Amino acid sequence: MSEKRKDNRGRILRTGESQRKDGTYQYRYADIFGTRRYIYDANLNKLREKEKDVQKQLDQGLDYANGKMTVIELYEQYVSTKRNTRENTKKSYAYFAKMLHNDTFGRKEILKVKTLDVKKWLIKLHDSGLSYGTLNTLKVVVGGAFKMACEENIILKNPCAFPLSSIISNDANKKEVLSLEQQKEFLSFVRDDAWGSKCYDIIVVLLNTGMRIGELSGLTIDDVDFERRRIKIDHQLQYYDKKGYTVEKAKSKSGNRVIPMSDDVYDSLKRLLKKRNQIEREFDDYVFLNRNGRPIRSTTFSNSLRQIRKRYNEIHQDNPLPNITPHSFRHMFCSNMVNAKMNAKMLQYIMGHADISVTLNVYSHIDYDTVEKSMLDILNVKN
């Protein structure tokens, strides 16, 4: 029978344990993939505590060694798997990475991260001034990284698997939409206003198609079929400070669609093309060009809307309009179609949404007058 190994203090070493020449201790084990791994400590008792952790992870089929990586290391591995991401998404990834690098939470080993740790971290960020929307996006991305760790047998449970609303109230500003009456008054004002009239046809098209501003900016002559009165959407145009104009795919597969052209949209597009032919064009394919012959940009159009709203409210101080953005017209279009009782699946297609709940729960805004009329129409017919 072989003599049991001992350390320099005469203590019997267990299987896998050994003492190195510098007096520190190591423990050798095979991970779940059969790869030889080592853990170390200067104190034998502390090493044995680590051994218990290793064995616990092995019993659960987890990869203990990779579980020692930090949250930021896991996040960067996860983001590196993302391909063909949009420029705005890349900026968000970089912004969140910087946030994790500068926070003690980002340096925490993922095996030690509990749900409570994530909740405390998000609450701290909210208290520092981050909006609910930004926090929710951050939680989704970091949660995706932890989900990947679960799939790779590194951790057992995703600590981000909880709704943000369970710890933080959604204090995001609710999207303001105009009533039908307000929409008519606003359009009438824009049409007759010397400064705002240049935006009239753009607003008409947005309000009557539900297009995203990037889809409208990217609309080309070939996308508009006046004969069959159809508008094809299969891409969008974005502008980035460093890259300039960039053609991108539709936001999702569902974003590829054909939108029927109403009479108002038909007339507005015809007017826009007539104006377009009267300017020197740097970009010849696009429908919506500014006076310099370049495709309209979201930021420029947003600034124009702010000026139009300011001019409107100066005249209508007793009934001012809320903030209006290019995306507001998409919400108004969807709400108008819901209030007009358009079939929900058809509306989902026109909006280009992959999930009908987005169409009905995010973009549909119902006011009391509409509810009252609908309810009384039903009850009066019944009686």
Which residue in this structure is represented by tokens 């500003």? 173
Instruction: Please provide the DSSP assignment of 37-66 as one string.
Output: EEEEESSHHHHHHHHHHHHHHHHTT--TTG
Catalytic residue, from 212, 257, 331, 365: name it.
212
Among residues 251, 276, 294, 309, the one annotated as catalytic is 251
Alpha-helical regions (H) of the chain? 44-59, 71-80, 87-101, 115-127, 132-151, 180-192, 200-209, 213-217, 263-276, 298-315, 328-339, 344-351, 356-361, 368-382
Catalytic site includes residue 363: yes
8 A C-beta contact, residue 191 and residue 203: no
The three-point CA angle 72-77-82 to 5° equals 120
Give the residue carrying structure tokens 């070939």. Answer: 222
Catalytic entry in 126, 257, 309, 330: 330
Structure tokens at 240: 């980035």
Active site residue 25: no
Q: How many CB atoms are closer than 10 A to CB 170? A: 11
Active-site residue flag, 251: yes
Single-letter code of the amino acid located at 229: R
Whether 327 is catalytic:
yes
Angle among Cα 339, 340, 344 to the nearest 5 degrees reads 80
In a 13 Å sphere around the CA of 171, the CA atoms on its Cβ side amount to 11
CA 100 to chain centre: 18
In the chain, helix, strand, coil percent, each to 5?
A: 50, 10, 35
- DSSP reduced 3-state for 26: strand
Q: What φ, ψ does residue 240 adopt, rounded to 5°?
A: -120, 140
191 is known as an active-site residue? no
Region for residue 69 given its phi and psi (left: phi exceeds 0; alpha: psi -120 to 50; beta: otherwise) = beta
Which residue is associated with the tokens 């300011």?
310
Going from the C-alpha of 174 to that of each of 102, 132, 180, 314, the distances in angstroms are 31, 12, 18, 24
* 239 a catalytic residue: no
Exposure of 104 in the CB half-sphere (CA atoms within 13 A): 5
Positions marked catalytic: 212, 251, 327, 330, 353, 363
